Each structure stands twice: as C-alpha cells, then as structure tokens.
Amino acid sequence: MKIWLMDILACPDPDCRSSLQLEIFKSHTDEVEGEQQEEIDEGLITCPKCGRWYPVIDGIACMLPDNLRVEGKQHDEEARFLERWKSRIPKEILTDGKPFGLVEASTM
C-alpha cells in the first residue's frame, strides 16, 4: 500500500466517512521511476471519529464493512493481525475496538 493513499481514503462506514490515521508497523522502500517511495507492508488504520480500525496486511488495506469482518476467514486473519502487533496497537483498540478487539485483552 502506498502512503499517499491515506490522503484519499475515508472511513468506509456510511455514517462516518471521516479521514483516517495510519500507524506503520512494517514498510519497505521501492524505487519507482528513480524516486524512492515508501510501501507499507503492515500497519494499522484507525478512524478517530467512530473508533473503527482497519488492518494493512501484506501490503493491502483491508477496509471492509463490519458484517464481513466479524466472522469467517476474514475475521481469523484480522484477529491474527491484532495478535501479531498487539504490543504496538493502542490498548483501547485491543479492548474496545470496532468492530472487534482482541478477546484475550483482559489478561494483559
């Protein structure tokens, strides 16, 4: 995912549409036409307005509506993302994030 995408991305929730914040966990630099560009591999996109979070996994921003995130394969993948980066994810997302947090957060 290219960092400039953050300028055009908005919260996908239809009642929100706020601009978003990005925390980069892992990135690399690509040379594109002689210019160095940062490519984000893993990171956390958060919405300051509605409290939702969205993961960047393997370079792809997963910005799906809640109902596609709370079950099945997508949920498992996003839950693994939270587990993988829990030391760098804000506590309020782990305990209280929308549409879900890290269930095991109570033992932290």
CB of 56 closer than 8 Å to CB of 85: no
Single out the segment in contact with Zn ion by CB under 5 A; choices: 15-23, 55-63, 78-86, 93-101. Answer: 15-23
**Least distance (Å) between residue 17 CB and Zn ion:** 7
Of the pair 16, 79, the CB lying nearest Zn ion is at 16
Of the pair 5, 39, the CB lying nearest Zn ion is at 5
> Any contact of residue 22 with Zn ion (CB under 5 A)?
no
Among 44, 45, 47, 93, binds Zn ion (CB under 5 A): 47
CB of 62 closer than 8 Å to CB of 45: no
CB of 81 closer than 8 Å to CB of 58: no
Which residues form the interface with Zn ion (CB under 5 A)? 11, 13, 16, 18, 47, 49-50, 52
